[in-house]
Amino acid sequence: MSNFSVTTVGTASAKPVVGRGQSAQVLSVHGRFFLIDCGEGVQTSLQRFKLPMMRIDSVFISHIHGDHVFGLFGFLATVGMLGRTRPMNIYGPVSLGPILKFFLSYYGEGLRFELRFTPLKMKEPEVIYRCPSLEVRAFPLNHGIETFGYIFTEREKPLNVRKEAIEKYSLSLTEIGSLKRGEPVLREDGTVIGVEEATFRKFKPAGYAYCSDTAPFPEEAAWLRGVDVIYHETTYIAARADQAAARHHSTTLDAARCALEAGARKLIIGHYSSRDQDPSFYEKECRTIFPETYAASDGDVFEINE
């Protein structure tokens, strides 16, 4: 896998269909792995797509509708049987807490790892997780019940100092440290060594947003601004906009407008209705507004920091 990619493990909505599992994704970020939503049978899908189940660091659940959590018990039990000992971090709505308590009460005996649950309550984007390579923000969605989206952003590394600048100016360790922090060097003789001249970045930090399930809402595009790749549910085609509104979901055109307004580079869509077997039609509708739209299938891998 690359430094920053996502595998769409399950792309169906409430009713699974042959060849299409329920909502689940695995995000790979610089050697760390994160599970986003956990539809039914996810542990078998992870094996099928050769994803490292035991290396999953944390689980992020959007909401407690069954197609997003029915796989959680099986996943936790499977990693327990495989011998996991390090803690498992789980983030999700407050309503997920009693479900995890039930799991531990009836199926937790013999587990050798700790479940660390963080309930989410924010009204606007808020940082919930940090590690050396990644920052995660959660934000509320509009789905009729407590539901959250997630933004995963690479953390900026210190600047790299060019070898030719080190040789040209005979830079000291103190001066190199200043330049790495983005501070120009001013010498006693008046020489100024600029940051732009002497440093470079190996890569531009990239961002990925997960938005499922939700009806459109005014703040969404603004909250996603600056994200490179957006995953957005498209449960309904445009002709079924009335059903989407009644059930707090998005249509193809809703998702495409959101990506356009947010200034994203790429839009990935999924969570298709079981009545529509060919997702290419969803993709075509989105592309009338946002050409860089890609309809995901189970097992697809998308690069985030291309």
- Say which CATH number the domain at 115 has: 3.60.15.10
User: Is 170 in the same domain as 267?
Assistant: no
User: Is 42 in the same domain as 173?
Assistant: no
Q: Characterize the bridge pairing of strands 148-154 and 207-211.
A: antiparallel
Strand partners, 136: 129, 152
The pTM (predicted TM-score) of the whole model is 0.89
User: Is 286 in the same domain as 149?
Assistant: yes
Residue 37 bears catalytic tag: no
User: Is 34 in the same domain as 174?
Assistant: no
The whole-angstrom distance between residue 265's C-alpha and the CA centroid of its chain comes to 15
User: Is 117 in the same domain as 233?
Assistant: yes
User: Is 99 in the same domain as 238?
Assistant: yes
User: Is 289 in the same domain as 149?
Assistant: yes
User: Is 99 in the same domain as 39?
Assistant: yes
The residue annotated as part of the active site, out of 37, 67, 228, 254, is: 67
Which residue among 141, 174, 199 closes a domain? Answer: 199
User: Is 32 in the same domain as 119?
Assistant: yes
- The residue type of 124 is E
Give the chain's domain count.
2
Angle (deg, nearest 10), helices 252-262 and 280-287: 50
User: Is 22 in the same domain as 150?
Assistant: yes
User: Is 31 in the same domain as 136?
Assistant: yes
Which residue among 171, 199, 227 closes a domain? Answer: 199
**Rounded Cα gap, residues 51 and 56, in angstroms:** 9
Q: Which domain holds residue 92?
A: 4-157+201-303
Angstrom distances, CA of residue 222 to CA of 217, 225, 259 = 10, 5, 10
β-sheet with 32-38: strand ranges across = 115-120, 88-93, 56-60, 32-38, 24-29, 4-10, 300-303
Instruction: State the 10-residue block means of pLDDT for the chain, 306 residues long.
Output: 87 88 96 96 96 97 98 97 97 98 96 97 97 95 98 87 92 92 91 91 88 97 97 96 97 98 98 87 97 98 91
Q: Which pLDDT belongs to residue 1?
A: 42
Q: Which pLDDT belongs to residue 2?
A: 57
User: Is 37 in the same domain as 67?
Assistant: yes
**Rounded Cα gap, residues 259 and 286, in angstroms:** 10
